[in-house]
A and B are shown apart, each in its own frame.
Chain A
């Protein structure tokens, strides 16, 4: 490659320039590897990218906002263009937020895009996390990336809190007062922590400046580093994938980074940006001018934190007012338990979950194939349980708004939250567990008996039988011999070519029905097609010992995370 005479040497100017570049930087190899990286083609692998791209939107809009926002608590008298606050004393931070909203060109819309994308960022992290959790993508060797993800989630919460506390309005100041109380509630060191953070008693004159630098530099820098690490580890370890035809523990089936995935991903970036921009342009968020400047003497009804902190507000509202008074004038305030102990437990359990599962199931193997949630009922049910617990806390964080709007007693809301916090997770666990088993059973039933064709046949002796389409070879009793491979099992005839497949097209049909019909008629009908369909959709199409599918459906086996859905080498 280095000499011009070598065979295959580039002749175009661009090619020669590329060679010159490569001679100096030696990038061709790594670049080719990168461009050829394969991404799985399942849509759920794009969930993390929503978070990534909303982070990009946050960086872009946030940079614009820093041109105008001043993180200072110096008192000024507002003389800007918002009449209802003219002449009111406020901090420079709040005044500059008002100026940003009313007097800076495009300031309000950028502020709103920034805030909406912040809400979307955390929401996308949560959705991404749920996908990782429910499919078992955190298992060995990806525990590190799981930990980084949890760290990113926690940092996102802190970053968001710092961000919406900076404008020093009455709503955020109320939140900051609660944060200060939480710090004071830490036993033994609380006062010192508070003094360290606020530089004295609440509220002082430092906190907004500190939040500002944490919000625009410290935390984003750490997050950026962790995101880079998250992605590097992802590239190094390669993606997981759902089990299916041709998918093994040793390959990744999907599309290459370039050009297909790059186009998809760019498209997604614009979708995310469009959603944030549409919300920012059309829906008002955090109208700080309505809240007024912060003043410790004032507090408003319906003061909530942003949704991602709301679960802590909820836990505080639900927890009984149990102060623990120790001898010698020591008190552990009730606030300590719902705002420090509870999130401490939640995030520790989350971070340690891969380890806990590994220890409890004894499954220490490396996994690159994902599990369907139904195949791991215990984990799925634990997840549903956690979601139920979280949603109760979340709704309780807004229980006064719900009480007021729906004309329910606030006390009733509080008690419903307390009872719901205990009862609903249990109910969610049981329900999810049963649903998982039911779905498993149905998969295995289809594998054993075939797809319901909807055809009822009457035999000469008068007996009616329901005709099933087997998915593969059958044994002497007519029972299918395919093992469950952890992949979706076709359950309708058109999924195995028994009926015309669905017309493609998302909004409108992009192909003519008659062509599809003809195309399908050309293919041979019957068992051959069905077999092909079965092979395509289960991993191996490998016949196993009779009775295996029904055994696998036993809760005692399917209930263990390591057991169900393992696509290879059934233990029996």
Chain B
């Protein structure tokens, strides 16, 4: 800490680079003046400070080198354990602050408020928290996605905590779009389109529930949703849709989302409903205008 303070303080009285620049403008006072004496004092103080910093750095480096040389061989592992432990602790901290009201002291859930989180795994945590669905604002038909509340680090910590207490599906690794595009399309239409629509535009379910649009979903959210089956969505376990197939589905969804509309304005890619709106609001209106224009001319 002290070193950084020293360094950040240093430029203030005028850095070494700044002094000659001043001289170029001819404003540097002659030697022997009180100003020059002051500058000399300043310079010596700076030199002293730099010396201190160098000494401190040398000491630290030496200590570090000695430690790494002398420390036990499994030091790295235990530090990872310590990391996980600290993440779990931090996660618990976050949990008791934001989640405990509905999910209970021991993740067992609270009747009529929130389900048990034992065994849901970090995949469910990632999906629910990263889409902003959790923490919930109020109980309603389904949890809407909102701006995310926790940082990615905090989400990892929460995930670690939930994972540490009951296990469950974990986050995948690697390229989540590493799958066959056409196969992904077929699987998407077979398994997902009935609620999320052909192109992932989303759809209404019963009693105010809805399958959300996949417009804003990232790869990991889609993957963890399939893995954890949030809310009304069924769980698509790895023995039902293999990890490769999941990646194919994600590849398809994201490719289709990114692809442009060759036919012009996409009008929501929802087919006949917006098309019907357009033909009446634009097509019929324009031709009626034409008819009125031509028809009222003498």
A285 / chain B contacts, CB cutoff of 8 Å: 263, 275
Given contacts A112-B263, A307-B272, contact A300 B287 (CB under 8 A): no
B290 / chain A contacts, CB cutoff of 8 Å: 268, 271-272, 275
Whether the Cβ atoms of A84 and B182 lie closer than 8 Å is: yes
The A interface, classified by DSSP as helix, strand, loop or mixed, is: helix
Whether the Cβ atoms of B271 and A171 lie closer than 8 Å is: yes
Which residues B268-288 have CB closer than 8 A to chain A?
269-276, 278-280, 282-284, 286-288
Q: Which of B263, B270, B282, B295 contacts A46 (CB 8 A)?
A: B295
Docked pose: A351 CA to B193 CA in angstroms = 41
A151 / chain B contacts, CB cutoff of 8 Å: none
Docked pose: A112 CA to B278 CA in angstroms = 13
Decide if B197 is an interface residue (CB 8 Å cutoff): yes
Given contacts A84-B256, A124-B284, contact A283 B267 (CB under 8 A): yes
- Segment of A180-188, A206-214, A291-299, A362-370 in the binding face: A291-299
Decide if B56 is an interface residue (CB 8 Å cutoff): no
Q: Which of A49, A86, A108 contacts B262 (CB 8 A)?
A: A108
Decide if A302 is an interface residue (CB 8 Å cutoff): yes
Decide if B22 is an interface residue (CB 8 Å cutoff): no
Docked pose: A278 CA to B289 CA in angstroms = 15
Q: Which of B202, B255, B272 contacts A301 (CB 8 A)?
A: B202
B296 / chain A contacts, CB cutoff of 8 Å: 43, 506
Interface residues on A, range: 35 or more
Docked pose: A410 CA to B280 CA in angstroms = 24
Docked pose: A86 CA to B182 CA in angstroms = 6
B297 / chain A contacts, CB cutoff of 8 Å: 264
Decide if A20 is an interface residue (CB 8 Å cutoff): no
A300 / chain B contacts, CB cutoff of 8 Å: 189, 193-194, 197-198, 203
Q: Which of B181, B203, B298 contacts A302 (CB 8 A)?
A: B203
In the complex, residue of chain A having the shortest beta-carbon distance to the beta carbon of B183: A87
A169 to chain B: closest CB distance in Å?
9
Whether the Cβ atoms of B264 and A283 lie closer than 8 Å is: yes
Whether the Cβ atoms of A506 and B275 lie closer than 8 Å is: no
Whether the Cβ atoms of A279 and B203 lie closer than 8 Å is: no
B203 / chain A contacts, CB cutoff of 8 Å: 300-302, 400, 404
Decide if B211 is an interface residue (CB 8 Å cutoff): yes
How many pairs of A and B residues are in contact by the CB < 8 Å rule?
A: 216
Which residues A251-282 have CB closer than 8 A to chain B?
264, 267-268, 271-272, 275-276, 278-279, 281-282
Whether the Cβ atoms of A292 and B264 lie closer than 8 Å is: no
Given contacts A127-B284, A292-B198, A403-B204, contact A119 B276 (CB under 8 A): yes
Q: Which of B190, B206, B262, B280 contacts A123 (CB 8 A)?
A: B280
Q: What is the 8 Å Cβ interface bit string for chain A, positions 398-432, against chain B (1 contact, 0 not)?
A: 11111110011111110000000000000000000
Q: Which of B271, B278, B287 contacts A304 (CB 8 A)?
A: B271
Task: Count chain B CB atoms within 10 A of each CB in A108, A305, A410 and give the residue with the most.
Answer: A410
Docked pose: A400 CA to B275 CA in angstroms = 15
B128 to chain A: closest CB distance in Å?
20
Task: Count chain A CB atoms within 10 A of each CB in B264, B265, B297 and give the residue with the most.
Answer: B264
Given contacts A120-B279, A275-B286, contact A297 B269 (CB under 8 A): no
Given contacts A43-B295, A84-B256, A291-B198, contact A299 B270 (CB under 8 A): no
Whether the Cβ atoms of B264 and A112 lie closer than 8 Å is: yes
Given contacts A264-B295, A287-B269, A301-B195, contact A170 B189 (CB under 8 A): yes
B267 / chain A contacts, CB cutoff of 8 Å: 283-284
A394 / chain B contacts, CB cutoff of 8 Å: 276
A410 / chain B contacts, CB cutoff of 8 Å: 204-208
Docked pose: A271 CA to B287 CA in angstroms = 7
Task: Count chain A CB atoms within 10 A of each CB in B197, B206, B261, B283 and give the residue with the most.
Answer: B283
Given contacts A170-B198, A301-B211, A404-B202, contact A284 B284 (CB under 8 A): no
A311 to chain B: closest CB distance in Å?
11
Q: What is the 8 Å Cβ interface bit string for chain A, positions 69-107, against chain B (1 contact, 0 not)?
A: 000000000000001111110000000000001100000
Whether the Cβ atoms of A88 and B262 lie closer than 8 Å is: no
Docked pose: A408 CA to B185 CA in angstroms = 29
B95 to chain A: closest CB distance in Å?
30
A275 / chain B contacts, CB cutoff of 8 Å: 283, 286-287, 290
Given contacts A279-B278, A290-B269, A306-B276, contact A298 B190 (CB under 8 A): yes
Decide if B25 is an interface residue (CB 8 Å cutoff): no
Docked pose: A300 CA to B185 CA in angstroms = 13
Whether the Cβ atoms of A310 and B263 lie closer than 8 Å is: no
Decide if B227 is an interface residue (CB 8 Å cutoff): no
Whether the Cβ atoms of A411 and B198 lie closer than 8 Å is: no
Whether the Cβ atoms of B264 and A284 lie closer than 8 Å is: yes
Interface residues on chain B, number (Cβ under 8 Å)? 63
A120 / chain B contacts, CB cutoff of 8 Å: 279, 283-284, 287
A102 / chain B contacts, CB cutoff of 8 Å: 262
Decide if A453 is an interface residue (CB 8 Å cutoff): no
Decide if B210 is an interface residue (CB 8 Å cutoff): yes
Q: What is the 8 Å Cβ interface bit string for chain B, positions 62-93, against chain A (1 contact, 0 not)?
A: 00000000000000000000000000000000
Docked pose: A400 CA to B210 CA in angstroms = 10
A340 to chain B: closest CB distance in Å?
21
Whether the Cβ atoms of A292 and B185 lie closer than 8 Å is: yes
Decide if A116 is an interface residue (CB 8 Å cutoff): yes
B197 / chain A contacts, CB cutoff of 8 Å: 300-302
A46 / chain B contacts, CB cutoff of 8 Å: 291, 294-295
Q: What is the 8 Å Cβ interface bit string for chain B, positions 250-264, against chain A (1 contact, 0 not)?
A: 001001100101111
A170 / chain B contacts, CB cutoff of 8 Å: 189, 193, 198
Whether the Cβ atoms of A171 and B264 lie closer than 8 Å is: no
Whether the Cβ atoms of A88 and B186 lie closer than 8 Å is: yes
Docked pose: A292 CA to B203 CA in angstroms = 18
Which residues B220-269 have CB closer than 8 A to chain A?
252, 255-256, 259, 261-267, 269
Whether the Cβ atoms of A304 and B263 lie closer than 8 Å is: no
Task: Count chain B CB atoms within 10 A of each CB in A43, A88, A399 and give the residue with the most.
Answer: A43
Q: Which of B263, B266, B273 contacts A401 (CB 8 A)?
A: B273
Given contacts A43-B296, A45-B295, A409-B141, contact A284 B263 (CB under 8 A): yes
Docked pose: A108 CA to B269 CA in angstroms = 16
Whether the Cβ atoms of B273 and A301 lie closer than 8 Å is: no
Docked pose: A408 CA to B201 CA in angstroms = 16
In the complex, residue of chain A having the shortest beta-carbon distance to the beta carbon of B290: A271
Decide if A386 is an interface residue (CB 8 Å cutoff): no
B74 to chain A: closest CB distance in Å?
49
A290 / chain B contacts, CB cutoff of 8 Å: 198-199, 256, 269
Docked pose: A412 CA to B204 CA in angstroms = 12
| A-B CB proximity, top 7 nearest | A43-B295, A301-B203, A307-B276, A284-B263, A271-B290, A409-B208, A403-B204
Given contacts A45-B295, A119-B283, A300-B193, 13 further A-B contacts (CB under 8 A): A44-B291, A83-B181, A84-B182, A116-B283, A127-B284, A275-B287, A279-B278, A292-B193, A301-B201, A398-B272, A399-B204, A401-B274, A404-B203
6 example contacts (A-B, Cβ-Cβ < 8 A) are as follows A171-B198, A283-B264, A284-B269, A290-B256, A305-B272, A399-B204
